[in-house]
Every structure is written in structure tokens, then in C-alpha cells.
Amino acid sequence: MIKKGDRAPLIQLTDSDLQAIQIPAKDSTTLLLFFPLAFTSVCTTEMCGVRDNLKWYNGVNARVFGISVDSPFTLKEFKTAQDLNFPLLSDFNRSAAAAYGAIYEDFFGMKGVAKRSAFVIDGNGVVQYAEVLEDAGQLPNFEEIANAIRNL
């Protein structure tokens, strides 16, 4: 599992518009939010909370990415339905979740679903905050995430 002080893996994923996106973002703070599955209640609550606070993230030069193992097509529908204003990335092949140590071996009978987790990465590619939740019903600690971003 990736922890604070580790170098973030450089990964390329496809966004909901079928564009290749490299994470972490270069020369800016990156917030990666892995979530299990689009259109589920807790994931919707989490992503909508980020949507409603995106102005703050933009104001501190933090790029936010939501990541799940859903297809880019599902993520596009989820983004549209929830009016999300930040990129959603498809980790359909589970490479990012595996690299970050944020993957369930078994999630209600489904193999390889991303664990709800948050990683703050500084402009030099070093992880400054890492939280991987075992309970998909919990949300990341957004107060601690904001503190980590403020301290960069």
C-alpha cells in the first residue's frame, strides 16, 4: 500500500470522454479519490460533496480526480447524472487501484473493486496524505485531506 512519503506511481487512465490522462498531475497538487462503483449511494454522496467544494480545490491549485473500476461509458453517465465538474477516470483494468494498494480481493462477490481511498500528491510526485478505507460505507476524512493540501 502507498503511504505518506512514497513516490506516487505514474499511471495513465482513460477519462469519461475517452481521453488519456496521466496521474498524478505534474507541477500541481493532485487529489486522487478512488471509489468502489458509480451510482451507489455513498459514492454519489462523496463525489457530489467534491463537486460542491471544487471551487476550494481550484483555489489552492489542487487537481481532483475520481477513479473507479467502472468503464468510461458508465463514468460518463454518472458524471452527467450528478453534474460532476471534475474528471472521472476509469481504472477498468485495475492497474491504478492495485498500484496504490486500494483494491478489494472480494467486494460482495466482485473481484478487484477499488477501495474507497484518498491520496494527496504534491507537485513533485510525493504522497503527502494516504487513506485507504476497508469499510466502503465510510467517507475519507475530508478535513484531514484539506489540511494536507493547505500544508503544501
Please give the single-letter amino acid code of residue 97. Answer: A
- Pairing status of strand 88-90 against strand 62-68: parallel
Q: Which three cell numbers stand for residue 95?
A: 492497474
Q: Out of 43, 62, 64, 120, pick the active-site residue.
A: 43
Q: Annotated catalytic, 43?
A: yes
Give dist(CA 73, CA 66) in Å, integer: 14
Pick from 35, 42, 99, 95: which is nearest to 64 by CA? 35
Q: Which residues partner with 33 through β-bridges?
A: 66, 118
DSSP SS3 for 1: coil
Contact 31, 119 (CB under 8 A): yes
Residues recorded for the chain? 152
Most distant CA pair in the chain, distance: 41
Just list the catalytic residues: 43
